[in-house]
Amino acid sequence: MADKPRIIGIDLGTTNTLVASVRNRIPKIVPTDRGNLILPSVVALSSKGDMLVGGIAKDQMVTNPKNTLYGTKRLIGRKYHSKAVEELKSYFHYDIVEGADGDAAVALGGKTYSLQHVAGLILGQVKTIAEQFLGGPIAEAVISVPAYYNDNQRNAVKEAGRLAGFDVKRIVNEPTAAALAYGFNRGLDQKILVYDLGGGTFDVSVLQLTGNVFEVLATGGDTFLGGVDFDNRVIDYVLQKFHEAHGIDLAQSPIAMQRIKNAAEAAKIDLTLRLNVVIDLPYIEERKGKPIDLRIPLTRDVLNALTGDLVARTFEMCDRVLEEKGIKRTEIDEIILVGGQSRMPLVQQKIQEHFGKPPRKGVHPDECVALGAALLADSLGSLDSVTLLDALSMPIGYGLPNLRVRRIIEKNSAIPLVRSFRLPAPKDPSSQFIELDIYQGDSDLIVDNEYLGTVRVPASAAGRKIDFKLTEECLLQVMVEEGSAMKRLELATRDTPADLKRAIAESMPKEEVGQPQPQQAAEGGSLLSSIKAFWKR
C-alpha cells in the first residue's frame, strides 16, 4: 500500500515564503532555497527569456529591475481600478496592468500574467523543493494569509495553490497559525495578542486559548504597513543625504535605486543588533567621468526617528482592536511577535511600554506561521484535531445608490456563519434585473472598500431570501431562494460597477480629473515624490 502523500503548511509571505511539515507530531521548517529556510518571494524574467523563482530571481534585481516581480502579495486579488492598486502603483517599478475580469496583473516580456500565476510559480517552486527534501509527492497544503485579506484575496491565494498543483485543504489566517505554533497541545488557558508586522502587512489578533480550542476574539490590520515601508523611509533618507552632499538625484537611476533598496534593507536589519552602520555603495554615480561613492552613516536612533510614526500606527490599531471588543490591555496574558519587522528593538520597547510586559521570546517570528500552518494541516481529520474559531476581519455588505454600503456581516463576527436578508427591488424600476454590488471594508463609503463582485438575478426575485455565508476559511458564498431550496450564485466580476466608477471620479480632486499634472522637479519637491516618480516609470 502506497504511503499517503504528505500535507504541508506554507507561509506565502510578501518578502519570503516558508514551508513546514510535521513528522512524529513535531513541525519543522523545510529548507527551500540554496539550503536556506526561506525562499524569496521573487519571480523574474531573465534576459534569455527564462522564468526565475526565489534567490536566483532576487540576485538579478539590480541589473534587471523592470522584469523582476517582488511584493506581489500586496496586489493579488485586487481590482485594477481599485483605490488600493492606484496607491500601490507607485511602490513598484514593474508594469502593473489590467488583467482578466478587471483584476490587477503584471506585464513581463510583452505578456500579461495574473498575480495568481505569479504566486503559483512561487508555490510551485516550494512544492518541487519540498518534495525533493521530504522524499515523496506532496498533494495537499494549508496556506496562510494575512487576517486582513478580503474575500477576493483569499480566493486568489487558493487559486494560486491550485495552479501550483496543490489541493488546498484550508486557508488559515497568519495570526491564528502563529497562535497554533505557540499554544498547540500545551493545555493553556490564556488570552494572547498576536502582533504580526511582516514585509507588506500588519495584522493584530486577540485570541482566547483554551486547550486546543483557538478562538479569535477580535482582529484588525493594515495592508499598507509592513517592512517595505520601513525600508522606504531609509531609502528616502539616503537619497536626501546624497542629494545634499552632491546635488544629484539618484532616483533617476534604476540601477542606483535598486542598489540603495538592497542596502537600506540590509542596514535596517543590521541595526537590530548594532547601534550604528554605514551604508557604503562604491561607484553609485559618476560626474565628469569620475566615480562618486555613496557613504552614509545610519544609527539606530536615526532609524527610530525615521520610522517612529509607523510603529505608532501599529499600536493605534492594537488599541482599536481591543476597544472594539471591550478588552483591556491588562487582560492580555502574552504578546506573540510575528514577522521579521517585529524584531526591531523599537517595536519591542514600545510593546513593553504599551502593554506593561515584554513580548514572548519563545516563538520564532519568521517561522511560527509556517509551523502553525503545518500543525493545522497535520491535525485535519485527526481525532485530537484543533478547533479554530476565527472571526471576520472586515465587514461585508452591498452598495446603495447613495454610494454608501449597507452592511450585512459585521466585523469580528465569529465564522462560519450565515446572514440572511430580503432582496430589494431593482434600482431602476424599468430594469429586468436586480444587481447588488458586494463590497468588503471598514468604510461606509463604497469608494474606500474592495469590490468583491455583483449578484445579478431577475427582477422577479425581489423579496426573496438571500444568504451571505462565510465558510471556516472566511470565504463568501451567496445563495438565493429558489422555490423551496437555496441556489448558490457565482458573483459576476467582469466590470467595475458604474456606481464605483462614479464614486472614484467624485473622490478625486477636480484638477486631477481629465488632465495630467506636471511632475515635481526633484530639487523643488520632496525626495519621496522623486522615488514615486521613479517607480512609476
- Confidence (pLDDT) at 517: 43
At the fourth CATH level, the homologous superfamily of domain 227-304 is ATPase, substrate binding domain, subdomain 4 (3.90.640.10)
Please name which of 430, 527, 191 lies closest in space to residue 332, comparing C-alpha atoms.
191
Q: What is the pLDDT of residue 535?
A: 40
Cβ atoms 91, 535 nearer than 8 A: yes
- Given a contact cutoff of 8 angstroms between Cβ atoms, the answer to whether 426 and 434 are in contact is yes
Distance CA 470, CA 436 (A): 18
Q: Round to whole Å and give the CA distance between 123 and 140.
A: 12
* Predicted local distance difference test score (pLDDT) of residue 157: 97
What pLDDT score does 411 carry? 94
pLDDT, position 362: 83
Domain 396-496: which CATH number of 3.10.105.10, 2.60.34.10, 1.10.10.10, 3.40.50.300: 2.60.34.10
Please state, as a whole number, how many other Cβ atoms lie within 10 Å of the Cβ of residue 325: 12
Which three cell numbers, joined as nine digits, stand for 505?
Answer: 471620479
Give the pLDDT score at 120. Answer: 98
CATH 3.30.70.980 fits 6-185+362-386, yes or no: no
pLDDT of residue 537: 37
| pLDDT for residue 490 | 86
Sheet with 465-470, edge to edge strand ranges: 417-422, 465-470, 476-482, 485-489
pTM, to two decimals:
0.87
Mean pLDDT in order along the chain per 10 residues (537 residues): 72 95 91 87 93 93 88 92 82 88 91 97 96 93 94 95 96 95 94 94 95 94 90 96 94 88 95 96 88 96 97 97 95 96 96 96 92 94 80 94 94 94 89 92 91 91 95 94 88 71 69 43 40 40
pLDDT of residue 509: 61
3-state DSSP call for residue 385? Answer: coil
Q: Which residues contact 408 (CB under 8 A, 6 or more apart)?
A: 396, 397, 398, 419, 421, 468
pLDDT value of position 9: 97
Residue 158 is predicted with a pLDDT of 97
Q: Can you tell me the distance from the alpha carbon of 41 to that of 228, in angstroms, rounded to the nearest whole number?
A: 13
Tell me how far the alpha carbon of residue 424 is from its chain's centroid. 34
Domain ranges of the chain: 6-185+362-386, 227-304, 396-496
Give the pLDDT of residue 536: 40
The DSSP element (H or E) to which 297 belongs, if any, is: strand 290-299
